[in-house]
Amino acid sequence: VLKSGGKGEATRAAILDQALEIASADGLEGLSLGTLAAEVGMSKSGLFAHFRSKEQLQLSALARGVERFVAKVVAPAVKAERGEPRVRALFDLLLRWDRHEFTGGCVLQTAVVEFDDHPGPVRDFVVETQRDWFDTLTKVARAGVESRAFKKDLDARLFAFELANIFLGYRRHARLLRDRDAEKLAKKALDELLERARA
Amino acid sequence: VLKSGGKGEATRAAILDQALEIASADGLEGLSLGTLAAEVGMSKSGLFAHFRSKEQLQLSALARGVERFVAKVVAPAVKAERGEPRVRALFDLLLRWDRHEFTGGCVLQTAVVEFDDHPGPVRDFVVETQRDWFDTLTKVARAGVESRAFKKDLDARLFAFELANIFLGYRRHARLLRDRDAEKLAKKALDELLERARA
């Protein structure tokens, strides 16, 4: 078993990053100990010693994805000033994440659709990450109210709902429709949302 | 081969409706001539005579899904008065479709995520249906401008983008997060969108 800390941790993270690349293209269901073993040049039994089952591998890969998402999107965004700068930072970081982090697009988003109707530990984990994401957006809205950048009676959950929707819409237009105006449309929708939120 | 018109058409539609049920739960990739044959009580070779390949079956099922979507959502909605009534009719019909049409939720939406990174005829078809959907929403916005219900300088594409995003957000909150407020949040976002569009 890989030791925690040091080289073991780094190896484990590298294996899971490879797993996320596979899942980004083929979905979490396309991720098996066999396909991953071939990619990382380990034996299937060697991988089995670490992850025990396809489900454990899927869960570990998702957890690694969340770790990277927090480090690259959430943590830097909340360093920005409360209110509009923080919302715009989140928007810019999320667009960068969506474009560059994985070849096949955001693997956490792929998991949402793959597992929305499949009860079990993977779905539970996906729901938890989406609730955390929605909570983060709600807190970003509330922080803007506290700093008096946003109006006192702002509906923070509605703001979070609409902000999350802009991200979904951007993905659809950019990734599926390959619409060159995807970012422009998303930015305009964001401007309108911020306009309405302003104190 | 099933004859066009009459009983042949009805049988074909019934087979494709069964295919859509399977795809709604397991995705279009979960749909094969073998699994479908078992469900409809036909031989695999009998089905093969109609659909020739898994890909042809996927395309035929999607086309049938679009046919049903137009009949149950688009056609009745555009009968409503231009402007707000037409937008609200579309919203209500889409929510009903999302909840009741397929056990595992909108199969067209599932196809979007399944095929967004997989080039080929199925992806091309999915993109076409999403472009048609977005065009329909843009036309609904423009019709509101023409009837003077919406403001003259309304950005119809931005309106369509935001309306489509509300539907995506509703799905995430209702189906994944199982949030009881999904409809309430979506309705509030729709009210704000209509408020801004009003002449």
In a mutagenesis test of the A interface, which of B31, B107, B116, B129 is the best target, namely the one with the most A β-carbons within 10 Å? B116
Higher-pLDDT residue of A106 and A130 is A130
- Give the contacts of A149 (CB within 8 A, at least 6 positions apart): A82, A83, A84, A198, A199
**How far is it, in rounded angstroms, from Cα B145 to Cα B149?**
6
Q: Name beta bridge partners: A143.
A: none
Does residue A13 surpass a pLDDT of 60?
yes
Amino acid in the structure at residue A128: E
Closest Cα of chain A to B39: distance in Å?
A: 20
Q: What is the mean pLDDT of chain A?
A: 92
> From the candidates B103, B135, B157, B161, which should be mutated to test the interface with A, based on the most A CB atoms within 10 A?
B161
Ranges A104-108, A179-183, B87-91, B137-141: which has the least confidence: A104-108
Average pLDDT on A97-120 reads 85
A37 close to B (CB below 8 A): no
Lowest mean pLDDT among A94-98, A99-103, B79-83, B103-107: B103-107
CA angle A105, A110, A111 (to 5 degrees): 140
Average pLDDT on A22-33 reads 87
Mean pLDDT of A156-168: 96
* Alpha-carbon torsion angle B115, B110, B32, B49, nearest 10: -80
Choose among A24, A130, A185: nearest Cβ to B177.
Answer: A130
User: Is the Cβ of B153 closer than 8 Å to some Cβ of chain A?
Assistant: no
Interface touch B161/A189, C-beta < 8 Å = yes
The pLDDT assigned to B111 comes to: 86
ipTM: 0.88
Structure token digits, residue A19? 């797993």
Question: By mean pLDDT, which of A10-14, A87-91, A189-193, B14-18 is the weakest?
Answer: A10-14
Distance from CA of A150 to the nearest CA of B (A): 17
Q: What is the pLDDT of residue A1?
A: 42
Q: Is A43 on the interface with B (CB under 8 A)?
A: no
Residue with tokens 């042949």: B8
Q: Quick one: average pLDDT of A20-36?
A: 88
pLDDT of residue B4: 54
What's residue A5's pLDDT? 60
A185 touches chain B (CB under 8 A): yes
Q: Pick the residue with more confidence: A138 or B3?
A: A138
Question: Which residues of chain B neighbour A164 with C-beta distances below 8 Å?
Answer: 169, 172
Mutate to test the interface with B, among A161, A162, A185, A196 (most CBs of B within 10 A): A161
| pLDDT at residue A125 greater than cutoff 70 | yes
User: So what's the pLDDT on residue A2?
Assistant: 47
| pTM, 2 dp | 0.90
| For residues A51-65, average pLDDT | 94
Local confidence band at A4 (pLDDT 50, 70, 90 cut-offs): low
Q: Is A175 touching B (CB cutoff 8 A)? A: yes
**pLDDT, mean of each 10-residue run, chain B (199 residues):** 65 93 87 89 89 93 96 97 98 94 85 83 95 97 98 98 95 90 97 96
Partners of A189 on chain B (C-beta within 8 Å) are: 158, 161-162, 165
